[in-house]
Amino acid sequence: MRLPAVVTWLIDEAATVGGADQFLAALGAELIANGLPLAGGALTLEAPHPISARRVWLWRAETGVVIEALGFGSLSLAEPAKGQVGRDWLSKLGVGLLQDHVVGSEADRRMPNGPASGSPLLSWALFRPLTPDEAALLRDVARFAAAPLAIIAARSTLAALLEAYLGRRSAGQVLGGRLRRETGETIRAVLLFGDLRGFTALSETMAPEAVVAALDSWFDRIAGAVHAFGGEVLKFIGDGVLAIFPIGERSAASAWTPPGSRF
């Protein structure tokens, strides 16, 4: 049986990519090479993280660039809001045609009743309606993406937990094999500290559930922006956020315009 090239890639090579962002970019490129009219895509994964409920990667076909948007709070992937971050972003591409596919062998059968808890979700923005063959190919992609994404998710689980408790830089060093205690490291960086104006008054006048929802939305936006520009959130302090942007050998003046920030 001759399989489409993108399915062959999913079976033979996809599990070897570095992470979910690279997986989404490579999958999108493979689908375009197979003739699919994609304007962009989103990959939503459940996040084994004490703060983030899920992780969402956003891919723009025009540039091939992937950024990550973070979802905070206790929202379950089984709830209707699963995939909403990706759909909202894809709708802004202006093409008007969106499709969701839950990753797994029975993806399309389960969609009318909502995504299965914990299942990854692939969302696509399309320039035109799909032909029956193209629609079938996307369904096959959702089926065969399950195995490589399970491997990628297992690797990212360890990385996410280390990042949650050690920070991105320290987690990267541990994953790279640096396990001995050392004297420390000097980092040239820009620090960002931000909080919500009037939060004390807000917390005294709003219901607790509304306050938590406001904090989730705030953390979602600020952490997503920090990560998109190459920074790292060091800690959340009440309604405050402390983030770091390492600048390496660049001058302090040039640090105000991070390289590669355009998406």
pLDDT score recorded for residue 47: 66
Contact criterion met (CB below 8 Å) for 41 and 122: yes
Average pLDDT over residues 70-83: 49
pLDDT digits 0-9 by tens, 177-207: 666 666 666 778 888 888 888 888 888 888 9
User: CB under 8 Å to 31, separation ≥6 — which residues?
Assistant: 6, 38, 137, 138, 141
pLDDT of residue 175: 65
Q: Does 263 score more than 50 pLDDT?
A: no
The dihedral built from the CA positions of residue 251, 252, 253 and 257, taken in this order, carries a sign that is positive
Q: How far is CA 28 from CA 16, 40, 103, 210, in A?
A: 16, 8, 15, 38
Q: Give 237 or 43, the one with higher predicted confidence.
A: 43
Helix (H) or strand (E) holding 66: strand 66-72
Q: How far apart are CA 19 and CA 35, in angstroms?
A: 25
Residues 246, 258 contacting (CB under 8 angstroms): no
Q: In whole numbers, what is the pLDDT of the chain averaged over residues?
A: 78
Look up residue 24 and give its DSSP letter.
Answer: H
Place of tokens 């929202």: 75
- Are 227 and 218 a contacting pair, CB within 8 Å? no
Q: HSE of 176 in the Cβ direction (CA atoms, 13 Å)? A: 7
Mean pLDDT computed over 215-232: 80
User: Which of 47-51, 227-231, 245-249 is the least confident region?
Assistant: 47-51
> Going along 149-251, which residue ranges are E strands?
189-194, 232-237, 240-246
Q: Which domains does the chain have, with CATH numbers?
A: 5-158 (3.30.450), 187-263 (3.30.70.1230)
User: In this predicted model, what pLDDT tens digit does every residue of 96-120 receive, in sequence order?
Assistant: 789 889 888 554 444 444 445 568 8
Count of beta carbons in the 10 Å neighbourhood of residue 187: 10
Calculate the dihedral angle through the C-alpha atoms of 43, 48, 49, 52, rounding to the nearest 10 degrees.
Answer: 30
pLDDT of 156-181, one tens digit each? 777 766 766 666 667 766 766 666 66
- pTM for the model stands at 0.63
Residue range 64-74: mean pLDDT, rounded:
70
Percent of the chain with pLDDT over 90: 24
